[in-house]
Homo-oligomer: A and B are copies of this chain.
Amino acid sequence: MADDGTSGLQIKRRGLMLVLSSPSGAGKTSISRAVLDRDQDISLSISVTTRLRRPGEVDGEHYLFVDRTEFDLMVNRQELLEYAKVFDHYYGTPRGPVEKALGAGRDVLFDIDWQGTQQVAERARDDLVSVFILPPSTAELERRLQSRAQDSHEVIADRMAKAADEITHWSEYDYVVVNKTFEDSVAKVMAILDAERLRRTRQEGMSDLVRLLRQGQ
């Protein structure tokens, strides 16, 4: 609710889900990290996954690592906002923590692909702000994928094929950012976030302020 109308007033707002999708290698992960670093009101959605934990990954911080049986249980209980099979593993987003954040006026960032985005759009369209990040050229995309030294040629080839497929879904997103330079792209995603917070429909406390203004208070 709006407070007493002084200059310190804070309008209560509903949080939003910021989805960033891109073909692998377009720079999405670096951009996501920068947004999370620079903005205190948004946090990363922690996904649940059946894939094996990689070196350096912490359970409950990078992912919730579960086995296939547990994952299927979460699906059956409708505890997931979206889920998808990516390569040979399942990934999903637990619904509870997201709903809690949105209700408290905090935003949640999703690093999911077009399959997940479509499911979120079906289940929570009004809360969704979707951004597709494109590489500036195929040459740049290949360069970025090849610079991940730990991956085999097969993995890179798989990713290039998946990238070509993923790109076909760009036209389902609200916004499109061409990742020409890192700083420019971060600024653009931050502008989208700042603007979407100002949408009338998200500022739930605004009618209280208007009532005070109309009453001459």
- Residues on A facing B (Cβ under 8 Å): 5-7, 9, 11, 131-132, 134-141, 164, 167-168, 170-171, 173-178, 180-181, 187-188, 190-192, 194-196, 198-200, 203, 206-207, 209-210, 212-217
Contacts and interface: CB of A to CB of B under 8 A. Distances in A.
9 contacts: A6-B137, A137-B213, A171-B200, A174-B199, A175-B195, A178-B206, A188-B194, A191-B194, A192-B198
Closest 10 CB pairs of A and B: A195-B195, A191-B194, A5-B137, A192-B195, A175-B198, A191-B191, A176-B200, A191-B195, A138-B216, A7-B180
A212 B167 CA distance: 11
A39 to B, nearest CB: 12
Nearest to A165: B214
A9 B135 CA distance: 11
B173 A198 contact: no
Nearest to A200: B176
A203 B181 contact: no
B214 A168 contact: yes
B170 A200 contact: yes
Q: Within the oligomer, what is the number of copies of this chain?
A: 2
Given A191-B191, A213-B167, A214-B167, A138 B196 contact: no
Contacts of A215: 138
Contacts of A135: 213
Given A138-B213, A216-B138, A11 B199 contact: no
Nearest to A203: B176
A181 B135 CA distance: 38
A107 to B, nearest CB: 14
A138 B200 contact: no
A206 B176 contact: yes
Given A177-B198, A192-B195, 9 more contacts: A5-B136, A5-B137, A9-B180, A137-B217, A138-B216, A167-B214, A174-B199, A191-B194, A194-B195
